[in-house]
């Protein structure tokens, strides 16, 4: 079986490694960018995704660059502690949770793919322009995106769209879908070098869904010298009549605008305005997702990752779900008697599972505790137990873990997705 993977991001590179691990080695990754560089800011790899990367032999590589997240703590808009819980190994998982720079993860996956598959298998500067298929094969024509000239054509048995929220393949398959859906929230994202806060391995969220910050360290290199490279996301809900911000991951924000919105977020454990002032480049992007599709499979073409299920960055789940997509697809292709049965099985397992996460994230996922506290005590509280019970907080957290697939008991107990033990 020959597989053409369109997109060399986290989903596409993980799929390449997963297919190779499952014994499917005739594959090529086609990346639109001329080179794969350390772009973006921080992301989280939750234990269910860490397990898959661990079983692909990448655990030591992750420890070399990432921060194993120790705790997640929620705060009100005035910095009052609402709820905290251990994460990763500290929470009883067999696998850690990692906070990592997206670029570090992508390059880690790229190095592994080149080492295991060969450098010729990852082809950059190839932007998919069009594709087609018949009963026997699928083909794609690629352009040099800046110049617009044709640079190649590929034929394969299977084409997998790993080309993100603005997927060319999804747009071709669903031409009437329209742009991603914006919920009115503008996100500002950056990294700041600073002294560690709380445990040095803590992830915090403060505020409400209308105005909140998400903050966590992402670099072992900085931690080794007593510092933190802090990833942060500041989110602000705008008026309903405002136009959607530009959908460009590299669009540079106005720092003063961010400071104006979050100037009051000065907490005992973290000075958010100072963090914003000391940040490097601040990027702006709208918070968007898409509705679930009736199927991800169209003959010899299928969707994976953000091309299949873009979701709000709630619950730290986007990259993790793409990693799991890749592992499930590789397993089904290796074990099912035909490609058609494998694709149907992948669609049946992953599409409903991710649709549930998209829906949960639209309802603010595990951050519901912050909304309830704001609703019940907008002017603050003396004792959190008088506002929301521990049982209610635990139930909110546990419910989301089940929906997103990382309930510790279920994850620790389920069978491996590896084809060979």
Give the tens place of pLDDT for each residue, 287-339.
999 999 999 999 999 999 999 999 999 888 889 999 999 999 999 999 999 99
Q: Is residue 238 part of a domain?
A: no
pLDDT of amino acid 421: 42
Chunked mean pLDDT (size 10), the chain, 421 residues: 97 98 97 83 95 98 98 97 97 98 95 97 97 96 90 97 96 95 94 97 97 98 98 91 80 95 96 97 95 98 98 89 98 97 98 97 94 97 97 96 96 93 42
Q: Is residue 415 part of a domain?
A: no
CB proximity list for 391: less than 8 A, separation 6 or greater: none
pLDDT of amino acid 245: 82
Q: Is residue 312 part of a domain?
A: yes
Total count of domains within the chain: 1
CATH (domain of 131): 3.50.50.60
**In contact, 347 and 302? CB cutoff 8 Å:** yes
Strand order in the sheet with 149-156: 127-133, 138-144, 149-156
- Angstrom distance (rounded) from CA 146 to CA 226: 42
The sign one gets for the Cα dihedral 15, 17, 20, 22 is: negative
Q: Is residue 228 part of a domain?
A: no
What is the total residue count of the chain?
A: 421
- Complete DSSP assignment for 97-139: -EEEEHHHHHHHHHHHHHHHH-GGGEE-S-EEEEEEE-SS-EE
> What residue numbers bound the domain in which 354 lies?
3-40+102-179+291-363
Q: Is residue 131 part of a domain?
A: yes
Q: Is residue 241 part of a domain?
A: no
Strand order in the sheet with 181-194: 81-86, 71-75, 202-208, 211-217, 228-237, 181-194, 283-289
Q: Is residue 116 part of a domain?
A: yes
pLDDT digits (tens, 9 = 90+) for 355-390: 999 999 999 999 999 999 999 999 999 999 999 999
Buried b (16+ CB within 10 A) or exposed e, 65-92: bbbbbbbbbbbbbebbebbbeebbbbbe
- What's the token pair of residue 120? 């010729």
Q: Is residue 129 part of a domain?
A: yes
- Angstrom distance (rounded) from CA 206 to CA 233: 11
- Complete DSSP assignment for 291-321: PPPS-SEETTEEE-GGGT----S-SS-HHHH
Residue 38, CA distances (Å) to 33, 64, 95, 124, 220 in order: 12, 16, 25, 15, 16
pTM attached to this predicted model? 0.96
CA dihedral 365, 371, 372, 375 (to 10 degrees): -160
**In contact, 258 and 234? CB cutoff 8 Å:** yes
């Amino acid at each position: 079986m020959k597989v053409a993977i369109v997109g060399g991001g986290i989903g596409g590179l993980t799929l390449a490694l997963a297919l190779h691990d499952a014994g499917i080695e005739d594959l090529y990754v086609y990346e639109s960018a001329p080179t794969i560089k350390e772009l973006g800011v921080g992301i989280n790899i939750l234990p269910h995704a860490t397990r898959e990367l661990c079983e692909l032999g990448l655990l030591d590589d992750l420890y070399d660059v990432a921060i194993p997240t120790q705790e997640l703590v929620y705060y009100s808009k005035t910095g009052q502690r609402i709820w905290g819980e251990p994460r990763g190994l500290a929470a009883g998982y067999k696998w850690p949770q990692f906070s990592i720079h997206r670029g570090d993860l992508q390059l880690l996956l790229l190095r592994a793919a080149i080492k295991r598959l060969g450098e010729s298998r990852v082809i950059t500067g190839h932007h998919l322009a069009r594709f087609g298929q018949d009963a026997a094969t699928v083909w794609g024509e690629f352009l040099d995106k800046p110049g617009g000239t044709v640079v190649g054509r590929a034929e394969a048995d299977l084409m997998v769209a790993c080309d993100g929220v603005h997927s060319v393949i999804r747009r071709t398959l669903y031409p009437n879908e329209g742009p991603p859906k914006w919920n009115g929230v503008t996100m500002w994202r950056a990294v700041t070098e600073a002294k560690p806060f709380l445990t040095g391995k803590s992830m915090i969220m403060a505020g409400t869904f209308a105005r909140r910050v998400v903050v966590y360290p992402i670099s072992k290199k900085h931690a080794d010298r007593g510092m933190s490279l802090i990833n942060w996301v500041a989110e602000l809900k705008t008026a309903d009549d405002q136009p959607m911000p530009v959908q460009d991951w590299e669009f540079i924000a106005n720092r003063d605008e961010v400071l104006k919105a979050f100037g009051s977020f000065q907490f005992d454990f973290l000075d958010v305005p100072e963090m914003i002032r000391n940040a490097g480049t601040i990027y702006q992007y709208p918070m968007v997702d898409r509705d679930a599709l009736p199927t991800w499979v169209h003959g010899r073409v299928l969707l994976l990752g953000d091309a299949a299920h873009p979701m709000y960055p709630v619950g730290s789940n986007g990259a993790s779900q793409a990693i799991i997509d890749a592992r499930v697809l590789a397993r089904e292709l290796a074990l099912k008697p035909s490609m058609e049965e494998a694709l149907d099985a992948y669609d049946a397992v992953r599409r409903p599972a991710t649709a549930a996460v998209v829906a949960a994230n639209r309802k603010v996922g595990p951050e519901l505790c912050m909304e309830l506290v704001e609703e019940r005590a907008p002017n603050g509280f003396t004792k959190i137990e008088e506002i929301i019970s521990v049982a209610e907080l635990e139930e909110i957290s546990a419910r989301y873990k089940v929906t997103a697939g990382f309930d510790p008991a279920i994850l620790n107990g389920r069978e491996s997705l590896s084809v060979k033990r």
